[in-house]
Structure 1
């Protein structure tokens, strides 16, 4: 049985508790989710924002600042000048002078990312108020790309309902939240990153299905050719990872259909990593799985960064914040 992120994190019992920065530190959902994560011994948290507003929200929820629940105000923090110097070094080639650097790190989203870059936090979470663009931009500019990654992409962790049958299993869907129309090369890169995320967060070997509206050449179209080319590129660079396609979803998921449509494939009917051809398919696919199939969907989770940073939905609730803190903490243990 696949453990959910909170269960998996507790099972690992890291010797040093992860520290997660949250750039919307006065939002009631963020505070509630962060307090729950700390109380469950998942992580220590740093709430970033106007200190008076953050402390007022903590107080309204019956809590206060402590060693494991810190409050950082970028306008008054003793770290801000150091962060401004670092940001200036990072962005001066883009015309950012010292004054602009100071202004940038005084914004909570950049400050929270800089906490991660300089080792004061192991990961960061935001997006309850800010847009995905705000979160991704600050992560790429401040935290940067992983040395082995060619791009940043995202995925959803999909967990079946309890007592589910008929081959229901935990899966990873990518990309469902970031890359709108990936090229064949980008599909290959997304699959490589997703294979690592599968091992780290589902703790199982990836079986990667490259999805399409065609199975093994049953239809001819440039969209199908793109997926087939992405698979070929992936196999060239990751020959030891099980991957196959192109598959329609039923051929990737249902063993009997996989045997009939793709006989001899070890992935057909057993895929646990689904690579979607574009964001339309991925976003629609995860929501259908969630709403009709009863699966729990956690994400979008970002992959390809040097250190973890993740984006919340603006419609999130406190429980979503706690889950994403757990996911981010798990990612930090596997960097």
Structure 2
């Protein structure tokens, strides 16, 4: 899809016009996050929130020649003991049937990701961006335990926004579900389409495979075909098709030969990968070899917006994810 205005620029502008409180828990422990907090505050993309000791963090900002300290809100855990006790008790009550003790809950609440998720659940912040120094597991477990999924039995998934010149594509799922079953794959497609529509895209969804229109036979292809049927039944107004190879999804001339009855017109802009291997490999290949901009992963399916950074992220990546998290909050997405 041709974008008249860079998609991220649109999202930045929406975020600036509707300031959200976005928490960067790692600002005091990672230089990239610290620098991102300053740039986000200077650009006024969001109201920046951080976790750390107030006195030392304020000195750190002053040493960085940042003099707009009123734009940074610091959550000092040492000064929030009553909140920590309350959050720990809430976690214990929620998890005690699974064997968690009060002591374990209290100790966990001193982990900044557990504390950050509790601040989000308590509406003290509108979104959380973390993971620069943590594994995905270390981000996901507190998010699931404290924030929870938006719908029962509806799995959390992710997408990347891929920007190649003026072309915009959504890739899913590239970060969360290792081998989704047909219903999960269908929900990933629908959730991603809903996210894309809010950003101004008209979704054209292609379920990808090594086969196009029954050109091969294998149980992995049958999974994709079932997912297509589930998605079409659940969201009949969306343009959804597959299974198809990526060249058929993107190039009309090839698709017309291989899949003449396809519902997709022009080029698909939402590409649904059959598993995490293919999705993760694909986005990184496009990012590195085609020099595409990859913004994400953006999580979908949580009750509130929280996003997991790559440990290899740059300061600019953190700024972009923060803006996208603000955008999710504005649109009441998790």
TM-score relative to the length of structure 2: 0.92
State the SS of the aligned residue for 1:70. strand
**Which residue is 2:319 aligned to?**
322
- 1:305 is aligned to 2:308: no
- Native 8 Å contact 1:259 1:269 kept in 2: no
Distance 2:79 2:255 in 1: 59
TM-score relative to the length of structure 1: 0.91
Distance 1:2 1:108 in 2: 40
Distance 2:108 2:170 in 1: 35
- 1:125 is aligned to 2:129: yes
- Choose 131-140 or 141-150, whichever is displaced more: 141-150
User: RMSD across aligned C-alpha pairs, in angstroms?
Assistant: 2.0
- 1:105 is aligned to 2:102: no
- 1:332 is aligned to 2:329: yes
Q: How does 1:1-335 map to 2 (within 5 A)?
A: 1=3, 3-4=5-6, 6-12=8-14, 16-26=18-28, 27-51=30-54, 54-63=57-66, 66-78=69-81, 79-147=83-151, 150-161=154-165, 169-200=167-198, 202-267=199-264, 269-335=266-332
CA shift for structure 1 position 90: 2.4
Distance 2:134 2:15 in 1: 32
Distance 1:5 1:107 in 2: 35
- Native 8 Å contact 1:262 1:268 kept in 2: no
State the SS of the aligned residue for 1:256. helix
**Which residue is 1:166 aligned to?**
none
- Native 8 Å contact 2:15 2:46 kept in 1: no
Distance 2:327 2:46 in 1: 10
In the TM superposition, what whole-angstrom CA distance separates every residue of 1:108-148 from its partner, at most 9, and x where no partner exists?
Answer: 11111111111011110111101111111111111111137
Unmatched runs of 5 consecutive residues or more in structure 1: 163-168
Change (3 A) 1:209 1:149: farther
